[in-house]
Structure 1
Amino acid sequence: MLLPESIQFLNNFLLKNIRLFESAPWLLSNFDDDLWSVSFGFSQPIELNWKIYLSDGSGLIDKKNRPLLTVFKHWLIASTSNKDSGGLHTTALKSQYVRFNTTLHIIDLFVMDCGEYNVAKFGLEMLTRNNLKDLLVRISANNEVALSIYQWPVMLRGFCLELLSKCDLKQLHRIVRQSPYLSVITEDQKANDVMGLPLEIVPYVRAALLVEGFYVFNSTKGYHVHSAKVSRIIYSNTIAGIKSQKPIMPMLMFSLSDEIFTREFDGVPIQTSQHSRMSAFNLRFYRIALLDLRQLYPMSLALPQAETLDCVTEVFIEGGDQGRYGTVPANVMRHSVAAAIKYHINHGRALVETYCKLASLCKELSLSIADLTEEQFQSCLHNELKELGVKKLGLACRRPGFAAWTAPVTLSSKEYFAQVRKNVGFLELLAIYYGAAQLVVGLLSARRSKELRDLPKNCFDRSRKWLVFLNQKASRSTSVTRQLMARPLDDIAVDMVANIQWLHDELEDLGFVDDTYPLFSAPGLKGAGWLIKPDVFIYYRNMDLFQDYIESPLDAEGRRYYVRQHQLRRFFALLFYTSFKGARLDTLRWYFGHSDFKHIYNYITSVVPGADLRSAKATAIAERLTDHGWPAYKELAQLLKDEFGVENFKLASTARLEMYLDELLKKEAVALEPKFFIGSSGEKMQIMVLVRGGEREYQM
């Protein structure tokens, strides 16, 4: 366009507007290319393929759709720019990557449902306020975009059923019969299932996926669906969906080492509620991405009207409930810890010594452990274990010549657990010992589950007092260096770890395992192999069996508290915040490994996630509110009444009261923090609660 001479100075400005969003530091290709190469500091660039199809069958790169494609490209670049610097890309690459993905998610939604939004016919120009409101409601439907935008469980379910219909059922039946682990469906899998496949066809679906190469193995998670491979088929007509992360579907997971073990009782739910709607904070990024279309107005593109985009900020969508991890009662946790320590003291040495003798005999005779005769087994059995009642190698083991190891256990659940508690099966007792050690070390270290499962055999420092971990906090979008972290342990926990290390050393000397086996690699219950690397199935099998063995208390609905590592971490923090109950310093030192309270506090705040810390604080305050004479009671009671209408704590459930307190802590209406000072006998600590607007702190 030729401007009058008097305003030709605007030419450069207009040209700048036209070309402003045609490049970005992360874009390695030309703007007009149909295949983009992009990198946000990745070791290898990723590809963005614009060659996809709209609902009318036309391609996005076709001539008639080029205006829409141009909008998408400019929008993507504009969304990653810094609005405060004239459209330049000056923000951190990590921040740009978040915005990049957010915009791509919306573009994918427009493409996948372009018929509904008339995008194939009118582009974005004819979008209405209702369209944008509907878009935000759909995005906010779940905290994970894989579930809200890409409908991953639904799409995967359809894919599995279609795959099953195309497979040879006779072949699948044969595979299922030969591979009993495909039929194992744990209680955790049932509780966390979101796919809704009939349980009777799950083994055949797993077999079909296995035959067609749609499984991937992970040493800590076992076999699970190769989401990237499946996504290339399901989401072939998307730009981001074909590559984006998808959550693992628990129902389709299995482990070759997962012996057919079912817990004695249903478990108390791990979470009080599942992750539901997207939080208002996360939804904010999608609102901003839609508003970024405003930056393209100077470019004369086919865009929604300004007043239409205004509704993005006006639409009210209630933020989602992120769910809270269920609380294991303190008395249950303390009972479990005491039972674990007692079990170690009474049986730990004898169990490991017996297993090492069995391994040595098998090496000498060139036999597997399951091939030993009863007489040979008894010759290795420690006298303490004979007196305890041990009579069999394992309740799930098969004697030579009787049945294959793959045959199902014939004992009923009631009979099986009765035999376990009578100490009949040696391998069960050894698995229980592992569960006891995992519980104690897991509590006292307060590390993540994966960090414990990855813990190498040689995990002590030179003093053998400190446990050394590789920090497992992960970042999906950036490459991070894992840090070494150390944690002091009490002597009893050190002794537990040392006992398991002894077992490793003996098996290594015999050539049955090598040093790649993590510390908590455990024997199987069927006697197949000497150690099994601790995927999530084996790790929690040991802990569940321990809880069943000690007959951990049931809740009011007859469910058992099967403890998980994140609950141990939370309890670790709870111990600190409930130390007002008169716990002696030596008791706290046993749990925390430090006599310095500041060190304890710093460790807790560095290893326990913020949400878990807040939850622990809520539980501590809820416990304190049972005392009507507590000086802070009246002020807290009034706040709870004003905010939530709670007038009678006795009638309100503990879980609901904790939820209310959690919300008050989150809003900083209430604070719970330690106060350190020097007393006559040295360092002291008090846990103090402060109600917003109040004039004084209250000692817990």
Structure 2
Amino acid sequence: MSLPPELDFLEVFFVDPYQAARSAEWLLSDFDANVWEYSFGFKEPKYIDWDVKLNDGSSLIDKKNKELLDGLKYFLTGSTHANTAPGPKLQWASELARAVHIVDFLLLNAEQFKLAQYGLAGLGRDKLKLILSEIGSSKDTAESIYGWSKRMSLYGLNLALKTSKIEIALAIAQWPELAIITPEQIDENTLDIPLELIPQVRAALHLKGLYRASREKGHTPNSVRLSNEIYRNTLRGRFEDKPVIKTLAVQNGDDFVREYPPIPVATGARDKMGDINFSEYRRTLYGLGGLHHLGVPAPSTEDLVSAKNFTIDTASAGRFRSLPSQVVFSAVRNSIEFYLKHGSKIVDGFCRTIMYCKKENIPLSKLTDQQFQKVVGEDLTSLGVEKLGISRRAVDTPYASELKGTKSEYFTKLRSNHGLIELVKILIGCTQVVTGALMGRRIGELRDLHANDCLDVSEQWLVFVNRKSTYNLFGARQVEVRPIEPIAVKMIKNLVRMQKILKRVGFISELQGLFASPSGKGNAVFTKTSVYSFNQNLDLFCDYFETQTNEDGKRYYIRQHQLRRFFAMLFFYSSSFGGLETLQWMLGHTDVKHVWHYLTESMDGATLRGAKAQFVAEALHCGDVASFESLAALLKARYGTEDFTIVDTEELEDYLSDLMEEGSLEIEPEFIEDDEGQRFKVVARVKQVAA
């Protein structure tokens, strides 16, 4: 049917389903092509090669497998057809990825499913449920879909058996670190390989050229090259990078990223796939039913309905662990003090160094320590600055030659201010802490901040993109503004000033993300604001200021999601140590209720609930039972004691959060106005307790 141009948009309702199934907006190739080229517009085109082996030795593209091949192709194109709203390309990419994962799982287990003999119609309800059970068994698709650890174990053992024992012994003698297995690697081992054989497997991988160097992770197996061998009969698995198997990582000397192991940032079991992801995979698998409309063999409708109703015990989403209030308050205080004392001179010294190298036409990697100390300025040398970077490579030395030294030496130098690059990253980390705590935004929203336009013209508002504002907006995110406290503005402007100077002298071509950081590789090139660089700045901050450690020798390494409740925590604590003056000043409100309304309007329920639970848990742990008598009685029945100082704070907090989620507990401020003015106290009301 031919429609006039002004009614083109109606064509979708007149398309033959068979023809529609043979196309997709992202598919750039002909449906019948043996190699598909596809793209979602925001990345380089990718490819799907359908020439893969099945369990009977035939290829999927052989004539005898035509029905199976078409069914799998229709399954992929149909995975994105349900979403026809404009601009859903990111969602399409996710939907296609899930469908490809399911196809890869079928291909990897083709023998078990007798795929070559019975095709997709041979997938009965038990096999469909088995597929879902395996997919939901791990939050990591490299494990649940591809069995990465198991298959890597088999590959590694087979390779070691095939490799000459003499060559293996010689490799270990030449590279002794191949034989070193750290206690952490033993604790985190996921391989089905006896520990005594790990050095031989490493040596065999090394001899085959399958290791690659990584600054952060040492020498690790090249998972893409390995995948190309292990997963040859898959569509995507053979091309995808896989997680580092830490047991096979080989470190050069005492390599490290943090001074201490990190205290976990989340509670709850998180090994299995979460409810939402599992539901999405189940929905995608159910899409095989669409093949019936095309006359292509598929699992029966009854079996698909049975699979659609199938559930497993998925992972608890867990909660983010709370930072003790004193850790957060100290971090904000240290950040502001560091900026006030050293912020300007760190930026001045760094820019002066860059300008000197530009003027003298000297690459930063060639700058000697003597030249650096002459140009960096007395303010910084008197502070302890000796080098451009502590872990910077020496001039004219290969990549692997680092000056980082041992862990003890490095962190002593870090806190003695020896490296300017490290101080710049710590300064950026300080700005991240203050901005993140004061604004309570998601890490993605902070990463999106740009030095060119993160502040409005009045410099009183922070301009950011709301990462949770895409619903019913055709994929476009809203730009929002929020008031920001003057000290944060000053810290932000200091970073903007640094980037403007670097741009003016030609060190960077344009202004970048606000929290873009210099690398420590010797050239100090500014890297984009990735999650890794953002968190690396926070890690340096925590090690520099030596944030609290626990009895297990682990340190609190701050993450942005833990800072989001800072304002609410400050509100609650202000009721007990000196009033709301500081908080009111920060927010520009003079009325206590106005401050509370601002918090409830600008903070999501989970974050606010977490702040309430943390405040009350810490108060009870510190012995303030009198303020929460009814709650204390309930807790006594649970813990068998009125002395909550012996109860773990995190356990108390989790229990209080559970009570609030089920509606059994309400924690709210109660406002009081008397001769002394307006004030409040935090009240915990026990409403009911589920049996």
SS in 2 for 1:514: coil
Q: Which residue of the other structure, out of 235, 258, 267, is the alignment partner of 2:262?
A: 267
Deviations 1:445-479 (A, max 9, x none): 33444544453333322112223334456989x98
> Shift in Å at residue 572 of structure 1?
5.0
> Shift in Å at residue 559 of structure 1?
1.8
The correspondence of residues 637-648 of structure 1 with structure 2, limited to 5 A, is 637=634
Distance 2:683 2:480 in 1: 29
SS in 2 for 1:480: coil
Distance 2:226 2:62 in 1: 27
The correspondence of residues 414-425 of structure 1 with structure 2, limited to 5 A, is 414-425=408-419
Residue of structure 2 equivalent to 1:10: none
> Shift in Å at residue 142 of structure 1?
1.6
> Shift in Å at residue 55 of structure 1?
0.9
Residue of structure 2 equivalent to 1:542: 537
Deviations 1:59-89 (A, max 9, x none): 445555455556657777888888xxxxxx9
Distance 1:677 1:24 in 2: 66
**Alignment root-mean-square deviation, CA:** 5.9
Distance 2:598 2:456 in 1: 19
Distance 2:492 2:511 in 1: 17
CA contact (8 A) 2:568 2:599 kept: no
CA contact (8 A) 2:210 2:222 kept: no
SS in 1 for 2:480: strand
Q: Which residue of the other structure, out of 135, 139, 147, is the alignment partner of 2:143?
A: 147
SS in 1 for 2:58: coil
Distance 1:186 1:495 in 2: 45
CA contact (8 A) 1:37 1:48 kept: yes
Distance 2:111 2:395 in 1: 64
CA contact (8 A) 2:334 2:545 kept: yes
SS in 2 for 1:555: coil
CA contact (8 A) 2:574 2:580 kept: no
* 561-570 or 648-657, which deviates more: 648-657
Q: Which residue of the other structure, out of 338, 344, 359, is the alignment partner of 1:343?
A: 338
* One-letter code aligned to 1:433: L
Residue of structure 2 equivalent to 1:440: 434
* 132-141 or 147-156, which deviates more: 147-156
CA contact (8 A) 1:268 1:559 kept: yes
Residue of structure 1 equivalent to 2:548: 553
The correspondence of residues 359-508 of structure 1 with structure 2, limited to 5 A, is 359-368=354-363, 377-380=372-375, 382-390=377-385, 394-396=389-391, 407-409=401-403, 411-458=405-452, 459-471=454-466, 480-508=475-503
SS in 1 for 2:626: coil
Q: 1:384 to 1:646 in 2, by over 3 A?
A: same
Residue of structure 2 equivalent to 1:55: 55
CA contact (8 A) 2:630 2:686 kept: no
Q: 1:329 to 1:207 in 2, by over 3 A?
A: farther
Residue of structure 1 equivalent to 2:602: 603
> Shift in Å at residue 331 of structure 1?
0.6
CA contact (8 A) 1:594 1:600 kept: no
Residue of structure 2 equivalent to 1:131: 127
* One-letter code aligned to 1:510: V
Q: Which residue of the other structure, out of 319, 338, 343, is the alignment partner of 2:314?
A: 319
Q: 1:302 to 1:423 in 2, by over 3 A?
A: closer
> Shift in Å at residue 138 of structure 1?
0.8
* One-letter code aligned to 2:117: K
Distance 1:580 1:344 in 2: 28
CA contact (8 A) 1:22 1:77 kept: no
Deviations 1:560-601 (A, max 9, x none): 212122322354554456665566333324666766433443
* One-letter code aligned to 2:58: S
Residue of structure 2 equivalent to 1:119: 115
CA contact (8 A) 1:146 1:246 kept: no
Q: Which ranges of structure 2 fall in alignment gaps of 5 or more residues? A: 1-15, 176-180
How does the TM-score come out when normalised to structure 2?
0.70
* One-letter code aligned to 1:435: G
Deviations 1:351-378 (A, max 9, x none): 3333344444444444456766777555
Distance 2:437 2:510 in 1: 25
The correspondence of residues 136-285 of structure 1 with structure 2, limited to 5 A, is 136-152=132-148, 237-238=233-234, 262-272=257-267, 275-285=270-280
Distance 2:49 2:377 in 1: 65
Residue of structure 2 equivalent to 1:12: none
Distance 2:17 2:394 in 1: 76
> Shift in Å at residue 227 of structure 1?
8.9
* One-letter code aligned to 1:138: E
Residue of structure 2 equivalent to 1:85: none
SS in 1 for 2:564: helix
SS in 2 for 1:468: strand
CA contact (8 A) 1:27 1:38 kept: no
* 392-401 or 115-124, which deviates more: 392-401
Distance 2:437 2:303 in 1: 54
SS in 2 for 1:561: coil
* One-letter code aligned to 1:415: E
> Shift in Å at residue 141 of structure 1?
0.2
Q: 1:68 to 1:324 in 2, by over 3 A?
A: same
Report how many aligned residue pairs link the two structures: 638
* One-letter code aligned to 2:555: R
> Shift in Å at residue 554 of structure 1?
1.4
Distance 1:238 1:131 in 2: 19
CA contact (8 A) 1:393 1:425 kept: yes
Residue of structure 2 equivalent to 1:513: 508
CA contact (8 A) 2:205 2:211 kept: no
SS in 2 for 1:508: helix
> Shift in Å at residue 251 of structure 1?
6.6
1:654 aligns with 2:654: no
CA contact (8 A) 1:275 1:323 kept: yes
Deviations 1:90-128 (A, max 9, x none): 999969987776565444433321221333333455555
Distance 1:480 1:160 in 2: 44
> Shift in Å at residue 260 of structure 1?
6.8
CA contact (8 A) 2:445 2:464 kept: yes
CA contact (8 A) 1:26 1:40 kept: no
Distance 1:545 1:203 in 2: 36
Q: 1:267 to 1:501 in 2, by over 3 A?
A: same
CA contact (8 A) 1:160 1:209 kept: no
Deviations 1:191-224 (A, max 9, x none): 999789979969987995798xx99x9xx99x99
Distance 1:428 1:671 in 2: 45
* One-letter code aligned to 1:325: F
> Shift in Å at residue 557 of structure 1?
1.3
* 261-270 or 96-105, which deviates more: 96-105
Q: 1:133 to 1:504 in 2, by over 3 A?
A: closer
Q: 1:334 to 1:60 in 2, by over 3 A?
A: same
SS in 2 for 1:495: helix
CA contact (8 A) 1:27 1:37 kept: no
Distance 1:487 1:137 in 2: 45
Q: 1:306 to 1:635 in 2, by over 3 A?
A: farther
Distance 1:411 1:98 in 2: 43
